[in-house]
């Protein structure tokens, strides 16, 4: 009888051990982390920049030649050796297809550039994932860089409000096919007004506009949708509850300083992080044709606007299952409030 009881106890212990092992496996296999613990990058499928010319609105990549539509080739031309804007620091890593997650709180440095931080996830002795971050600054390049940035120049005859139209969106790219990974839901776009000068000013004056005291206008597209993996990631990493569709806007803490000593992924230490509240957010359904989204205001004359496009590493949608995806950025501006021309 005692032998049978001992055998039963051993079987129970073995069953409990197997159950604990199974639960451990499930936990490890379903956990996801920000910043891509898998070393993958994001392909930028397309970057389309165009403007709906109305009420005297004109756009340029160098402040000298004015057009109604700006294309990728126009922006890339500024990076070439024969550029009419030799002092630019436009960065389009789309040609190298290697965007990486970065984070920012929108701080502008003394040169008028937005401070960006490249995150790296490391594992400690206990197997816990932690974050380090280093500052990354743009350089004039069509083959390197972790985010996209370029200058646009607007010329208006009177003070004008500029809107994003129903054709402005950030969507999953379809250049090489594949399944929608949801990485576009972690994308951000920012506009920085670098200053204004009178029409007819010299190229050096126009191109040299910069304002270290500017406040960036940050756009968060697709705020109301998440993948299943992102919903699970939000809860497991940040203890945030959300849903796949019809979700409310989520707050997040961007990186504001280098992180040399690894910290937990959900750390909110104010020495390294600050809460970010994007200027405006748009749903996955897009901007309505009956009510365009206000982007920024222009003063009569020529205004330099610096544009940033990036994948926000601190967004809950920036997780392993989304890595390796494609993003298509489309910008269309108008001085009208809606498609009817009002």
Q: Higher model confidence: residue 24 or residue 190?
A: 190
Contact of 197 with 301, CB cutoff 8 Å: yes
pLDDT attached to residue 160:
93
Torsion of CA 13, 16, 18, 20, to 10 degrees: -140
Cα-based distances in Å from 130 to 20, 31, 237, 256, 273? 25, 14, 11, 17, 14
Q: What is the DSSP code (8-state) at residue 115?
A: P
What average pLDDT does the segment 10-34 reach?
35
The residue ranges of every structural domain in the chain are 1-30, 35-334
Please work out, in degrees rounded to the nearest 5, the angle formed at the alpha carbon of residue 228 by the alpha carbons of 223 and 118: 60
Average pLDDT over residues 58-82: 88
Q: Which of 243, 242, 239, 248 is nearest to 268 (CA)?
A: 239
pLDDT of residue 21: 31
Provide the pLDDT confidence category of residue 45 given band limits of 50, 70 and 90: low
Instruction: Give the whole-number percent of the chain exceeding pLDDT 90.
Output: 56
Q: Of residues 320 and 163, which shows the higher confidence score?
A: 163
Confidence band for 23, pLDDT divided at 50, 70 and 90: very low
**Rounded-to-integer distance, Cα 62 and Cα 180, Å:** 35
pLDDT at 15: 39
pLDDT tens-place string over residues 201-235: 999 999 999 999 999 999 999 999 999 988 988 88
Q: What is the DSSP secondary-structure string of 194-245?
A: EEEE-TT--HHHHHT---TT---EEEEESTT---HHHHHHHHHHH-----SS
Is the separation of the CB atoms in 308 and 114 below 8 Å?
Answer: yes
pLDDT per residue over 140-175, tens digit each? 998 888 999 999 999 999 999 999 999 999 998 877
Q: Which has more pLDDT, 39 or 91?
A: 91
If you average pLDDT over residues 113-139, what whole number do you get?
90
Residue 259 pLDDT greater than 70, yes or no: yes
Residues 6+ apart with CB under 8 A from 159: 297, 298, 299, 300
Average pLDDT, the chain: 84
Average pLDDT value for residue range 316-340: 86
If one counts every other C-beta atom within 10 angstroms of the C-beta of residue 159, the result is 10
Q: Give the lowest-confidence range in 28-32, 188-192, 275-279, 287-291.
A: 28-32
pLDDT band for position 304 (cuts 50, 70, 90)? very high
């Amino acid at each position: 009888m005692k032998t049978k009881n001992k055998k039963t106890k051993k079987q129970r212990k073995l069953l409990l051990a197997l159950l604990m092992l199974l639960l451990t496996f499930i936990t490890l296999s379903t956990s996801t982390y920000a910043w891509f613990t898998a070393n993958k990058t994001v392909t930028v499928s397309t970057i389309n920049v165009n403007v709906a010319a109305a009420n005297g609105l004109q756009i340029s990549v160098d402040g000298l030649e004015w057009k109604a539509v700006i294309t990728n080739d126009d922006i890339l031309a500024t990076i070439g050796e024969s550029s009419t804007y030799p002092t630019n620091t436009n960065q389009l890593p789309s040609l190298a297809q290697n965007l990486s997650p970065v984070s920012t709180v929108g701080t502008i440095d003394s040169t008028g550039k937005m401070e960006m931080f490249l995150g790296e996830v490391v594992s400690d002795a206990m197997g816990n994932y932690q974050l380090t971050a280093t500052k990354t600054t743009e350089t004039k390049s069509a083959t390197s860089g972790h985010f996209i940035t370029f200058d646009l120049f607007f010329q208006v005859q009177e003070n004008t409000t500029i809107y994003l139209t129903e054709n402005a969106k950030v969507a999953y790219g379809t250049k090489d096919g594949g399944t929608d990974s949801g990485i576009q839901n972690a994308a951000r776009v920012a506009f920085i007004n670098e200053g204004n000068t009178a029409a007819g000013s010299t190229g050096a004056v126009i191109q040299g506009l910069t304002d270290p005291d500017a406040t960036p206008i940050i756009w968060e597209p697709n705020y109301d949708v998440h993948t299943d993996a992102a919903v699970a990631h939000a809860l497991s990493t940040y203890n945030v509850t959300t849903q796949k569709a019809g979700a409310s806007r989520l707050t997040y803490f961007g990186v504001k300083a280098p992180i040399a000593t690894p910290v937990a992924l959900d750390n909110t230490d104010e020495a390294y992080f600050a809460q970010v509240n994007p200027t405006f957010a748009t749903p996955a359904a897009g901007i309505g044709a009956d009510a365009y989204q206000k982007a920024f205001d222009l003063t009569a004359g020529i205004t330099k606007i610096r544009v940033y496009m990036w994948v926000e590493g601190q967004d809950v949608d920036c997780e392993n299952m989304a890595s390796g995806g494609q993003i298509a950025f489309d910008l269309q501006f108008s001085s009208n409030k809606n498609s009817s021309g009002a």
